[in-house]
Amino acid sequence: MSQQQPVSSGAQLDFKDLVVLVTGAGSGIGRVYARFFGGRGSRVVINDVSAQAAQAVVDEINKAGGQAAAAPGSVADGQQVVDAAVKAFGTVHVLINNAGILRDKAFKNMSDQDWDLVTLVHLKGSYACTKACWPLFRQQKFGRVINTASAAGLYGNMGQANYSAAKMGLVGFTRTLAREGVKYNIKTNVIAPMAASAMTETVLPPDMLKGLKPEFIAPFVGVLTAKNGPDVNGRIFELGAGFISEVRWERSKGAIWRTDDSFTPSAVAAKWSEVQDFDQPEHPLNSEDGDMMGWAKQSKSLPPNKQIEPPIDFKNKTVIITGAGAGLGRDYALMFGKLGANVVINDVSKAGAEKVVEEVNAVGGKAVTAVCSAEDGEAIVKAAVDAFGTVHVLVANAGILRDKAFVNMDEKMWDQVIQVHLRGTFKCAKAVWPIFQKQKYGRVITTASPNGIYGTVGQANYSTAKAALIGLARSLAIEGSRSGILVNCIAPRAGTAMTATVWPKELMEAMKAEYVAPVVGYLASEACEDTGTFYEVFGGYAAQMRWQRTYGVSFPNDRELKPESIVAKWEEITTFDDRATNPTSGPEALQQIMENFSNTAGAADGEGSNEDPEDTPEIKEAKRQRPEPEEFTFTERDVILYNLGIGAKVEELKWTYENADGFEALPTFGVIPQFGSSSSLGMDFVPNFNPAKLLHGEQYLKIAKPIPTSGTLVNHVQLLEVLDKGKTAAVTVRVITKEKGSGDTVFENESTVILRGSGGFGGKKNGSDRGAATAANAAPKRKPDAVVEEKTTLEQAAIYRLSGDYNPLHIDPDFASMGGFPKPILHGLCSMGIAGKHVLKTFGPYKDIKVRFAGTVIPGETLVTEMWKEGNKVIFVAKVKERDAPALSNAAVTLVEGDKPPKAKL
């Protein structure tokens, strides 16, 4: 079967007579895949470990007029599964590797069985099923493979070291399959879906599961597998709840050192900020992308490297290095020995290990051997403890190659590489973990590879194992952070016994193993404070790697999503423009998906006044209620405290000194008097209201007159609008704030909150147009007219909360952790105030401001406000500089006419 011309917008995708094998299809998302393809004319093969569950789905599809057959069994027995498919329908055209299990445990409690079972199903199962399909795909010159990763694989997750490793491993697996299959019209892609399933039921709240229907995943898989789908191969996509985006690697500009005796861990520390500088990033697609030889030559011409003081050393530190009998491991050992470390040399070669011990002792270190496989982690750690009393650093370096074209790669070759690289690292990390936790200190460096990042022909096993070590490191970093354990990952290139057979002599010389060691030394030192990070390292060069995600497309989640609708938006889904983001954690990546819970068809339309005919009787009654007005008394002290809370500086006397000429409140002070009133309104007019499931969505503030700096104001609260978004409710409360004496209106606020799990009550679905309060405020497609950045302080949230928002999420680390955040986060209204200050300083006074809260800010991070002037309106967005992550979006102010904008002075 040959591929048709890619479908044009508006045309139908063709699935007719495709034989589609779906693993783990007896329930959940696999069942939804099967029903989707069955309903589109494909012949579907249902695999599941439960023969009964598989047959139930077969019967369901056949009863609906489709064609389906069962292929029960473990995915680890891939040939058996594929043989059943061929027996039923003659071949396989599409393989969806969907089967999976969870065995979540804190890493310290994770057993070998927990580890082995997860890697067996996810990695071995995907290998076995794909391997069995591969000859069919090659022979018929058509094949489509979909591998299933997850956010836990991309970003790491607490308690999922096994799952994160396996899921990230499938990204590397995909990249190599894509390269090997291209000339046979075999296309392989990987998705990181967020969908309700038997696996996610145990870790996600019920209201969130309702919004994550697998029906939003299946049409996208259809796009990637259709005969006439877009030409897509080796790509990563993240999606859920109607949101779809593409993910790729982004590499920093990096740093280069002179490769002489001055290239030390102390020299690496001196230039580390350059390694993490993403001002001029690259987006490599291949391991050859980048001027490697040019960088290597440049390093030779640089002056001696500057060093930090005091220099980094490893006196009284014990370092375990696996695979240290030669190559990279040997050079690591010599470096650590020179810096005073106790070094444990692990290798399967006794002669190799003993020789390196002698070399380490000769340069002033102390060393012992641990001759065994890296999988024998307990024995390696015992050797360290017996000789030196404890362990401080684990460099997981051991590895082997078993290269073969995928069609010829046998099970033994797969297993050996996965065992040494991945299981060996797991076993060694598991063995040192209790020691590290007890002493509240530890460093782990895992070893990935460029081939794990980009894939390469003939290394499906190696690419998978190396990518998996990135996911493992990120999960271990999360788990270790509270115990002083830092875990990072490198992808080194070096001239070793493994590369000598494939690299030219010039490249071997430029990529000496000793040119990687100083970076490892820095990451293993007390000077390093990073964790969960990942770097490419070679030839005196190092650069950080991170994910970049397209802004993507959000489809309404209250109507059926069709694959043709996705194709129509394909360019937007896959375009990396200035709206692209860089998620660094699961909660951060999930935020944009969660925002789409309230995206319903026609959400921008609307009508009506405060009371709407579509409102339920309960909402109509709630709108008729008028709570008693509440007074708010404040003094100049409160104004100064607020101004300081959003970053006013001591020299800005008009904002920090009550006796200064022109002393005034910053305009966003208007959110403070109303805060207690708007947040105290009861919400029992919607079902299942739970205050813990409330998210602040948008804020609109209108400033009706000059703001007094002290006095008594009166807040009048009104329920303005309640929308039924199906899975959620969107509630807008208006507070009109008046002066007590004159009765004049000073502020009008509209606060919109999202109540998760409170939708489905049959209320009004589409919001009303309320002018500036509901304007979309899309950023113009041109460079900003002004950009202002401001680094928040570590104390920012602690100060801001004194203006009235005492939510412990902003101050208590334990409470923040319960919410899925690594640290307490800054108040959204504080971010609004800082950005509003930037607009004020740049363009002058304004009479209203509206923002949408698009992401979190952690105190200490830098807020960057980008501004575009459009007539008397300034549209702006705010981002976190360090993570290039959104904080505020769809934001704008309306300028006071007649004022000339002053120049920014921040």
Side-chain-facing half-sphere of 516: CA atoms under 13 Å: 29
466 is catalytic: no
> Catalytic: which of 33, 127, 155, 163?
163
Q: Which amino acid is at 695?
A: L
- At residue 351, φ and ψ (nearest 5 deg) are -65, -45
DSSP state of 772: G
Asked if residue 707 lies in contact with residue 671, where contact means CB atoms within 8 angstroms, the answer is no
Alpha carbon 280 to chain centroid, angstroms? 21
Structure token digits, residue 665: 């409140």
Helix (H, G, I), strand (E, B) or coil at 272: helix
**Rg from Cα positions in the chain:** 29
Give 862's strand partners.
791
For the chain, how many residues are written? Answer: 906
Alpha carbon 779 to chain centroid, angstroms? 24
Give, in order, the Cα–Cα distances in Å from 904 to each of 80, 259, 561: 69, 44, 46
Task: Give the CA dihedral 749, 752, 753, 758, nearest 10 degrees.
Answer: 130
163 is catalytic: yes
Distance separating alpha carbons of residues 151 and 233, to the nearest angstrom: 20
Distance separating alpha carbons of residues 677 and 483, to the nearest angstrom: 41
Under 8 Å CB-to-CB from 636, ≥6 apart: which residues? 658, 663, 709, 710
Asked if residue 667 lies in contact with residue 894, where contact means CB atoms within 8 angstroms, the answer is no
* Adjacency order of strands within the sheet including 630-634: 630-634, 711-724, 728-739, 745-756, 694-703, 846-853, 885-895, 873-880, 862-870, 786-791
Q: Which residue has the tokens 């063709």?
A: 14
522 is catalytic: no
Give strand ranges (E) for 42-167.
43-46, 67-70, 94-97, 143-148
Structure token digits, residue 441: 């200190």
Structural element, H or E, at residue 392: none
Asked if residue 698 lies in contact with residue 849, where contact means CB atoms within 8 angstroms, the answer is no
- At residue 87, φ and ψ (nearest 5 deg) are -65, -35
Distance separating alpha carbons of residues 42 and 38, to the nearest angstrom: 5
Distance separating alpha carbons of residues 346 and 376, to the nearest angstrom: 10
Give, in order, the Cα–Cα distances in Å from 551 to each of 76, 644, 879: 37, 34, 13
Q: Which of 395, 390, 355, 352 is nearest to 374 (CA)?
A: 395
Distance separating alpha carbons of residues 606 and 603, to the nearest angstrom: 8
> Catalytic: which of 462, 522, 551, 642?
462
Structure token digits, residue 95: 């393989």
CB atoms within 10 A of CB 507: 17
Structural element, H or E, at residue 249: strand 243-251
Helix (H, G, I), strand (E, B) or coil at 851: strand
- At residue 724, φ and ψ (nearest 5 deg) are -95, 105
> Catalytic: which of 124, 131, 167, 623?
167
Q: Which residue has the tokens 């939708």?
A: 759
Active-site residues, by number, are: 163, 167, 462
